[in-house]
Structure 1
């Protein structure tokens, strides 16, 4: 996983060689975990824009903290899910090769 902030990405959030295939906005309530009971991977990268709140991102069994303004880039094949500490609002973007 790569981590940045929206403020660091002055030229915009993108990954060379990929385009957005699908996406959406999700809200997790405190204590809620996305994809909690199963492995969750993709064949292409996924980007999470954390709009508000704080939580933990689980990547291949390792845990890191995140908060509003963070950009999380999950690499292809990484098992991942988010865990909300406070209410978390995130935009998620599934990518595909351009």
Structure 2
């Protein structure tokens, strides 16, 4: 039987990245930048993450909470089950308008646009 890995939320480390609490999930056991990966971003109640861009593409999936995504000057409301693709070089950030609820998003990044149809 092959072995598989599990990362428990209670055992993982969050760090401040671009103004939100970020927990790297993949690649396993690495805190270094990577061409592909997955993590969890938590935007605190009433806060705004830091506007930024990067060379990789980033796909987001909203797990819980809701808020506003800003991408290259455009604004979109997002809630549980919504997904967003941010292209290479696009300036983006998140705004959580709730005074009490965290906004949790899964982030998957890659050097290619995973969310676009071929």
TM-score higher than 0.5 here?
yes
Match of 2:4 in 1: none
The aligned length equals 76
Q: Which has the higher contact order (CA 8 A, sep 6+)?
A: 1
Question: Once superposed, which parts of structure 1, at least 4 consecutive aligned residues long, lie more than 2 Å away?
Answer: none
Which residue in 2 is equivalent to 1:79?
Answer: 91
Q: How large is the Cα RMSD of the aligned pairs?
A: 1.9
- Higher strand residue share: 1
TM-score normalized with structure 2 length? 0.58
Query: C-alpha offsets along residues 41-98 of structure 1, whole Å, 9 cap, x if unaligned?
Result: 121210111001110001112211110100110011110001112321111111124x
TM-score by length of 1: 0.68
Look at both structures and tell me which one has the larger radius of gyration over its CA atoms.
2
Give ranges in structure 1 of 5+ residues lacking alignment.
Answer: 1-19
- Structure 2 stretches lacking a partner, 5+ long: 1-34, 113-118
